[in-house]
Amino acid sequence: MPPLNGSADLVIVANRLPVEPTTAADGSTEWRVSPGGLVTALEPIMRANEGLWIGWPGGTDVDVEPFEHDGMTLDPIALSAEEIGGFYEGFSNATIWPLYHDLVAKPEFHREWWDSYVDVNRRFAERAADRAAKNATVWVQDYQLQLVPQLLRELRPDLRIGFFLHIPFPPAELFQQLPWRRQLIEGLLGADLIGFQLPGGAANFVRLVRQRVGHKTHRDLVYLPDGRTVRAEAFPISIDYQGFEELARTDGVQERAASIRHALGDPQTVFLGIDRLDYTKGIYARLRAFSELIRDGELDVDSSVFVQVATPSREKVEEYRVLRDEIDRLVGRVNGDLGRIGRPAISYLHSSYPREEMAALYRAADVMVVTPYRDGMNLVAKEYVACRWDDGGALVLSEFAGSAAELRQAWQVNPYDLNGMKAALMDAAGAEPRDRQRRMRAMRKTVRQADVAAWATSFLDELDDVRPPHGKRLKPTLTS
């Protein structure tokens, strides 16, 4: 492992580390790699460049020394209970999250939360400034750290700084509600390259810079008074396509998929939803649409079942507790009114599952239902496509998910239109096999050609091109 202070040519700054702590049998703490495409994409790039990842390890006041895990150098930043409440649960997830997701829930604006957000962002920026080598590349991730680019720029003007927003960026009419809108815009402008999931998000940002800050702009470029040029561009994130397909082809996953269908009573049609338990995901509306199809006789519990996996999320935030109670009541009412012994209409699982079980669920499902009210990308839709190596299955996809721009062959729906959603569920379930295969084959080609490694490489290559005077480029990945 290289020495830490000021030696890393590539620094990733994210709210969380790419590992999570687990307790071993002897009571000691062990670390395992967190699931998710971001870690998969950045691991080989970090190894090739002796990179460093800065992030919160989870928990309260967890003071952990820098360590190496699976070839990655990790530098934890501890957060106090007050910081978790103000910076993370407060400003990040009760202010920014709903504001950037089209006000699906009402955002709260508290000065104390903002102060905590500023303080924590400053700590992340100071740590990155201390760890980065001269002329290094620093890549800041997501909405929790939007002030880091400018704070870091002030400390280390020699650095090449990129920022990527994993959630949507809202139109000006919504963003302008934020009391600290100018500070956030200026925070992001500390980066040389700002990445968004969709072109619309980049365009929203450039428009705000021109209208609210007054900098000169041209298309995706912002010209700053200090002579720097900032580019705002779309880089749709993706998944480890090859990894998911290979996993889905294993005997263990295929056997598990068959056992899942058998445990469900070998129905004709298995509908599937897999989401974090979040009010943006549209879980309640999709389950209501399905229940109405059962109630009206268009579907039958003997031949159809809806499996909904809702991974626990942010359970200390009041809106999430309310949502869980609402879905619990809906599932209980639907199964009580429409189900039969051994034949529930909805099989509801409030739990998280390993990647192998997710792949088995994708293989077991005839119709994947992804209907968020707003989503930056939604990788579940792409994971389902990658696992359907037989070109089977059907995808019902919200037109407000970022992935809808790429997965055009899905049955796209407006999640606010219950009748339209019901029609799409019926169309997907009743589609001819040839039509399903044609659609799935096209979507699989799209995801295969633009996987998560291509996403990471394209962003870092563009970052090199935006600020070339360093004469120092990142090494390519060690894997193909």
Encode pLDDT of 402-426 as tens digits: 999 999 999 999 999 999 999 999 9
390-395: average pLDDT? 97
| Contact yes or no for 75/68 (Cβ under 8 A) | no
b or e along 216-232 (b: 16 or more beta carbons within 10 Å of the residue's beta carbon)?
ebeebebeeeeebebbb
> Which residues fall within 8 angstroms of residue 69, CB to CB, at 6 or more apart?
19, 31, 33
Confidence bin at 37 (pLDDT 50/70/90): low
Q: Is 462 helix (H, G, I), strand (E, B) or coil?
A: helix
**426 or 60: whose pLDDT is higher?**
426
C-beta neighbour count of 176 within 10 angstroms: 13
Counted residue by residue, the chain has a size of 480
Question: What is the C-alpha to C-alpha distance for residues 160 and 357, in angstroms, rounded to an integer?
Answer: 40
DSSP letter (8 states) at residue 288: H
Annotated domain spans of the chain? 8-237+453-470, 241-449
In this prediction, residue 60 carries a pLDDT of 77
The residue-averaged pLDDT of 360-372 equals 98
pLDDT of residue 474: 66
Domains 8-237+453-470 and 241-449 share a fold: yes
Structure token digits, residue 416: 């606010």
> What confidence score (pLDDT) does residue 5 get?
62
Q: What percent of the chain has pLDDT over 70?
A: 95
**Res 318: pLDDT:** 78
Please tell me the predicted confidence (pLDDT) of residue 397. Answer: 98
Q: Mean pLDDT, to the nearest integer, of 431-455?
A: 96
Task: Please report which confidence band the pLDDT of residue 478 belongs to, taking 50, 70 and 90 as the band edges.
Answer: very low
Confidence band for 479, pLDDT divided at 50, 70 and 90? very low
Reference 357, options 453, 271, 447, 274; nearest CA is 274
CA 397 to chain centre: 16
Let me know: does 230 contact 220? Beta carbons within 8 Å. no
Nearest to 396 by CA among 380, 413, 376: 413
Residue 35: pLDDT over 70: no
| 20 or 2: which leads in pLDDT | 20
Q: Which residue has the higher pLDDT, 161 or 321?
A: 161
- Evaluate whether 180 touches 114 at the Cβ level (below 8 Å): yes
pLDDT above 90 coverage of the chain, percent: 79
Mean pLDDT of 227-247: 95
Question: How many C-beta atoms surround the C-beta of residue 354 within 10 A?
Answer: 9
Query: If one looks up domain 241-449 in CATH, what number appears?
Result: 3.40.50.2000
Q: Is 399 left (phi over 0), alpha (psi -120 to 50) or beta?
A: alpha
Cβ neighbours of residue 341 under 8 Å, at least 6 residues apart?
A: none
d(CA 33, CA 14): 15
Sheet holding 216-218, edge to edge: 67-69, 72-76, 52-56, 8-16, 132-141, 160-164, 193-196, 229-234, 221-223, 216-218
Whether the predicted pLDDT of 352 surpasses 70:
yes
Amino acid 40: pLDDT:
72
Side-chain-facing half-sphere of 466: CA atoms under 13 Å: 27
Quick one: average pLDDT of 165-171?
A: 96
Is pLDDT above 90 for 25? Answer: no
Provide the pLDDT confidence category of residue 2 given band limits of 50, 70 and 90: very low
Residue 27 above 70 pLDDT?
yes
Side-chain half-sphere exposure of 384, counting CA atoms within 13 A: 29
Position 3 scores a pLDDT of 44
DSSP per-residue letters across 122-144: HHHHHHHHHHEEEEEEEEEESGG
pLDDT bin (cut points 50, 70, 90) of residue 246 is very high
The predicted-structure confidence for 177-213, as pLDDT tens digits, reads as follows: 999 999 999 999 999 999 999 999 999 999 999 999 9
409, 460, 152, 5: CA torsion to nearest 10: 130
Amino acid symbol at 48: A
CA 264 – CA 464 distance, rounded (Å):
52
Which stretch of DSSP H or E encloses residue 380? helix 379-387
Residue, of 421 and 321, whose pLDDT is higher = 421
CATH of domain 8-237+453-470: 3.40.50.2000
Mean predicted lDDT score pLDDT of the chain = 92
Three-class secondary structure of residue 222 per DSSP: strand
Residue 339 reports pLDDT greater than 60: yes
Per-residue pLDDT band for 469 (boundaries 50, 70, 90) equals: low
39 CB neighbour count, 10 Å cutoff: 22
